[in-house]
Amino acid sequence: MADTTIRIEPFLLDSPRGPLFCIYVSPADQAPKGAVLYLHPFAEEMHKSRRMVALQARAMAAQGYAVLQIDLTGCGDSAGDFSDASWSVWLDDARLGHAWLFEKTAQPITLWGLRTGALLATDLAQRLQDVRSLLLWQPVSDGSLFLNQFLRIKLASEMLAEGQSRSGTKDLLAQLQSGQGVEVGGNMLSSAMARELGSIKLAGMAPKCPVTWLEVGAQASPGVTPASQRIVDAWTTNGIPVQTRTVQGDPFWVTQEITECPALIDATQSCLIR
């Protein structure tokens, strides 16, 4: 049975690069008391996460919050190919989503990002003045390390198909640095995206708003991984309020089957309404 307490509205948002597919989830019987812009992760992680994101957005709407989910350029059902994407293009897409959501709700906006989406949300938060807070799910902290991990997917695919890989990570990076794209898991990674993503690190950022940092692990804990905690400590030293928690669950963004993590939804809800 459909939930009549929330409204789900798909639409296309105009951008200079073509229409961006969006889903607006909001309370059906009241004006929203807050607004949330969701920024998705990279490539296949985006698709693996759709179920969890939909569940979380509906839970937020049931609590009175409006949520905008946006497929960035070259992703999902938005215009363009993945090869058209770059970090600066995605930042511009996120700005458009932020502007639309603020005009729609007249509410200060929480930026919610998963994995590289958390990195994008933090980057955007540095550039805007009216961000209420950041909600980071399992954030990628170092774009360069993530890029290397992403390229290893291609090497692993070659090993499975041919018993050996035709290249190494250094060769693929050199190809990207020369201006050529690299196909990884059906996605053509552009030289511009590799260059821009590879230069981004959470440790070098300084968001100007409160942060909720949530991770998923084998055991629940009030803290996060040591690498994450170092960034958290640097932010708190600079006066940024950061709330952390690790919930028990599976890494749904990379599991072979579509997986849910109810503990993450519960933790997010408790942080949202605190």
Query: At 221, phi and psi to the nearest 5?
Result: -160, 150
Q: Which residue has the tokens 């997010």?
A: 268
- Helical H runs in the chain? 44-62, 87-105, 116-127, 143-162, 169-177, 191-197, 226-237, 262-272
Query: At 205, phi and psi to the nearest 5?
Result: -105, 160
Q: Which residues contact 102 (CB under 8 A, 6 or more apart)?
A: 35, 109, 130
For the chain, the domains span 6-141+202-272, 142-200
pLDDT of residue 114: 98
Which helix (H) or strand (E) segment holds residue 131: the answer is strand 131-137
- 240 contacts 207 by C-beta, under 8 angstroms: yes
Q: From CA 36, how far away is CA 57, in angstroms rounded? A: 9
Kindly report the length of the chain: 274
Q: Which residue has the tokens 């309404």?
A: 273
pLDDT of residue 11: 98
pLDDT of residue 268: 96
Per CATH, the number for 6-141+202-272 is: 3.40.50.1820
Q: Which residues contact 87 (CB under 8 A, 6 or more apart)?
A: 120, 123, 192, 193, 196, 197, 200
Q: From CA 190, how far away is CA 182, in angstroms rounded? A: 7
Residue type for 47, please?
H
DSSP bridge pairs for 24: 9, 68
Query: At 47, phi and psi to the nearest 5?
Result: -70, -40
CA distances from 81 to 38, 74, 120, 187 (A): 21, 4, 19, 8
Cβ atoms within 10 Å of 186's Cβ, excluding its own: 9
CA distances from 128 to 62, 109, 242 (A): 27, 11, 19
- Dihedral sign, CA of 117, 119, 124, 130? positive
pLDDT of residue 259: 95
In tens digits, the chain (274 residues) has pLDDT values of 457 899 999 999 999 999 999 999 999 988 999 999 999 999 999 999 999 999 999 999 999 999 999 999 999 999 999 999 999 999 999 999 999 999 999 999 999 999 999 999 999 999 998 899 999 999 999 999 999 999 987 777 655 555 555 567 788 888 888 989 888 888 899 999 999 999 999 998 988 899 999 999 999 999 999 999 999 999 999 999 999 999 999 999 999 999 999 999 999 999 876 5
Q: Which residue has the tokens 């942060």?
A: 211
> Which residue, 77, 75, 78, 35, is CA-closest to 57?
35
pTM of the model: 0.94
Q: What is the dihedral of CA 77, 79, 82, 86, to 10 degrees?
A: -120
Q: Which residues contact 180 (CB under 8 A, 6 or more apart)?
A: 191
pLDDT of residue 168: 73
